[in-house]
């Protein structure tokens, strides 16, 4: 049989012969045949059958055709991953403004119409929950050749083999991975890449290039302990729209949220179908923002993104394909009336009422522990009441509270040891022994922020016997104040006086305490004056 005779015989069988799993032969041979088929302008199967016919005199094409499960059009299983993928692709095209006509006989294919300037452009969208290989090209080209009235778009959940993409695009078939489609509708590719780079730069800056992030435990309101990333993954699958992460000053709420955004960004780029896109917004940037639109637009503009379609963006949030991460709700109260954080929270909360997912961090208090917070702050405007207000929103239709509250825990002794070993393995044992030599330092080291300051300062101590506690604590004080004054906090007069005393008021002797307060008081002098609610405190010395 000649090539022409075999191909005519194959076509006379009136069979669609897709490439995947249709010819029983090794994949390596299929790939070689695919390249030759492209040159000859025939499908992979047609050329393969010709080769077989040339080798075997009794060749009958129908013996070698196996029906592809994707061509047999099984009844859709609405719980299958393929069905969910097709549904997700459909939602994206609806967001883009296309009219969708579902194919009743094949739930993997969508027929879409788009009206523009009086013309109707029609396309077939093939939603394939797989990676497209060379083997798949012949069948898709065959569909394109059968119907020239519609354009063909292939959306693949796991992307395309480079050669397969090239072959399909040469036949005017548009190739999109799921993430390609998302970024065409929501141009945030550079933003996601920047989140990854920003975290990597912070690792270099904070830990000399070693990622020394330690996963602190979290407690829920019933005091049950959870691993934070595991709990977050489980929360994503729940109906609860908000996750509120509370913690003490320096417990690592911001670092955790940055690490979470970094991990989410990487996973989104790997598998945009399975993982949502993170948007991390430091609330220190939103003092003058009146609406959520203002907050988001200013945030994206600050990151070099100026072409966001906000209605589309909210649709992605409502579909839970974008998760909003807000850091530091409590910090708004340092510069605005107390009600401002609650008003901002209620404004943000409205987004979650449409089905979106929101994570927010807030400092439980400005003090060392919850009992001192309750004792030292007026209850009518204290953070305990504020916390209750945050979780007292309306229940949803399933009886779930509007927000879940968890508490980020300080480091335990093992985590302190792990951190020191991660950042300076050779000297970790020495540093642990040094920490134990100074009164109260072991307890302070349970705060991730204080542990960093402690490590930065004690690594230069060569002879403990010649180092006074007052000198070390004074140095730690300056490190703390440098962080406070250059990062984000501007405390009101009451919090600035009390919070410092509570944090350091149990450092030992009265002389040490006075010395610390002296350093603290001196640091207040250059800060803004009474117009911002701050007063200069008279300088004190240790002798006073």
Domains of the chain: 3-63 (no CATH), 81-184 (3.40.1350.10), 189-408 (3.40.50), 427-532 (no CATH)
Q: Which of 45-54, 283-292, 475-484 has the lowest mean pLDDT?
A: 45-54
| CA 501 – CA 497 distance, rounded (Å) | 7
Cβ pair 250, 447 in contact under 8 A: yes
**What pLDDT score does 80 carry?**
83
The 10 Å Cβ neighbour count of residue 140 is 23
**Which pLDDT tens digit goes with each residue over 173-194?**
999 999 999 999 999 999 999 9
In this prediction, residues 252-270 reach a mean pLDDT of 94
Alpha-helix runs per DSSP H in 119-250: 137-146, 162-170, 178-185, 189-207, 228-236
pTM (global) more than 0.75:
no
**What pLDDT score does 197 carry?**
95
**What pLDDT score does 349 carry?**
81
In this prediction, residues 291-301 reach a mean pLDDT of 90
The winner for highest mean pLDDT among 102-116, 140-154, 410-424, 452-466 is 410-424
**What pLDDT score does 39 carry?**
62
Query: Which tokens belong to 14?
Result: 């009136």
> DSSP assignment of 41-66, as one string?
TS-HHHHHHHHHHHH-TT--GGGS--
**pLDDT class for 319, splitting at 50, 70, 90?**
very high
**What pLDDT score does 18 carry?**
44
Query: Which tokens belong to 344?
Result: 């901002």
pLDDT tops 80 at residue 201: yes
In degrees, rounded to 5, the angle at the alpha carbon of residue 319 between the alpha carbons of residues 187 and 189 is 20
**What pLDDT score does 153 carry?**
94
**Which pLDDT tens digit goes with each residue over 485-509?**
655 544 544 455 445 454 444 444 4
Residue whose C-alpha is closest to residue 265's, from 183, 179, 360, 196: 196
């Amino acid at each position: 049989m000649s090539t022409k005779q075999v191909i005519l015989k194959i076509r006379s069988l009136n069979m669609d012969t897709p490439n995947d799993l249709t010819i029983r032969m090794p994949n390596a041979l299929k790939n070689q045949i695919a390249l030759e088929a492209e040159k000859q302008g025939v499908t992979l199967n047609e050329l393969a059958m010709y080769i077989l016919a040339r080798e075997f005199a009794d060749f009958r094409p129908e013996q070698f055709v196996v029906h592809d499960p994707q061509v047999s059009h099984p009844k859709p299983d609405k719980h299958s991953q393929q069905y969910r993928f097709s549904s997700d692709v459909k939602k994206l095209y609806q967001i883009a403004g296309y009219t969708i006509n579902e194919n009743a006989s094949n739930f993997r294919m969508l027929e879409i119409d788009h009206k523009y300037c009086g013309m109707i452009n029609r396309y077939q969208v093939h939603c394939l929950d797989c990676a497209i290989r060379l083997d798949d090209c012949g069948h898709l080209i065959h569909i394109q050749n059968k119907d020239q009235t519609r354009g063909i778009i292939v959306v693949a959940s796991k992307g395309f083999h480079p050669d397969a993409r090239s072959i399909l695009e040469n036949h005017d078939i548009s190739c999109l991975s799921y993430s390609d489609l998302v970024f065409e509708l929501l141009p945030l590719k550079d933003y996601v890449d920047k989140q990854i780079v920003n975290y990597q730069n912070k690792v270099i800056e904070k830990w000399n290039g070693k990622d020394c992030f330690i996963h602190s435990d979290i407690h829920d309101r019933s005091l049950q302990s959870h691993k934070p990333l595991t709990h977050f993954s489980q929360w994503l699958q729940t109906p609860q729209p908000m996750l509120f992460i509370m913690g003490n000053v320096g417990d690592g709420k911001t670092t955790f949220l940055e690490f979470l955004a970094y991990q989410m960004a990487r996973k989104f780029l790997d598998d945009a179908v399975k993982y949502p896109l993170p948007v991390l917004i430091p609330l220190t940037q939103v003092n003058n923002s009146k609406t959520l639109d203002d907050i988001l637009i200013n945030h994206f503009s600050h990151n070099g993104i100026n072409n966001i379609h906000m209605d589309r963006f909210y649709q992605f949030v409502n579909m839970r394909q974008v998760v909003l991460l807000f850091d530091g709700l409590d910090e708004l109260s340092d510069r605005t009336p107390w009600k401002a954080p609650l008003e901002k929270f209620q404004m943000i909360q409205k987004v979650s009422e449409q089905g979106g997912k929101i994570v927010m961090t807030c400092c439980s208090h400005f003090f060392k522990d919850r009992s001192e917070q309750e004792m030292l702050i007026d209850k009518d405007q204290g953070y305990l009441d504020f916390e209750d207000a945050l979780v007292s929103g309306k229940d949803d239709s399933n009886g779930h509270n509007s927000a879940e509250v968890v508490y980020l825990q300080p480091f335990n002794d093992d985590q302190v040891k792990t951190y020191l070993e991660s950042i300076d393995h050779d000297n970790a044992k020495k540093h642990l022994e040094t920490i134990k030599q100074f009164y109260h330092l072991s307890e302070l080291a349970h705060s991730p922020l204080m542990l960093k300051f402690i490590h930065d300062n004690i690594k230069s101590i060569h002879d403990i016997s010649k180092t006074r506690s007052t000198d070390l604590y004074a140095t730690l004080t300056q490190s703390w104040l440098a962080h406070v004054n250059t990062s984000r906090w501007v405390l009101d007069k009451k919090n600035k006086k009390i919070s410092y005393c509570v944090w350091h008021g149990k450092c030992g002797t009265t002389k040490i305490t006075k010395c610390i307060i002296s350093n603290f008081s001196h640091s207040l002098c250059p800060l803004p004056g009474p117009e911002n609610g701050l007063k200069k405190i008279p300088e004190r010395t240790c002798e006073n």
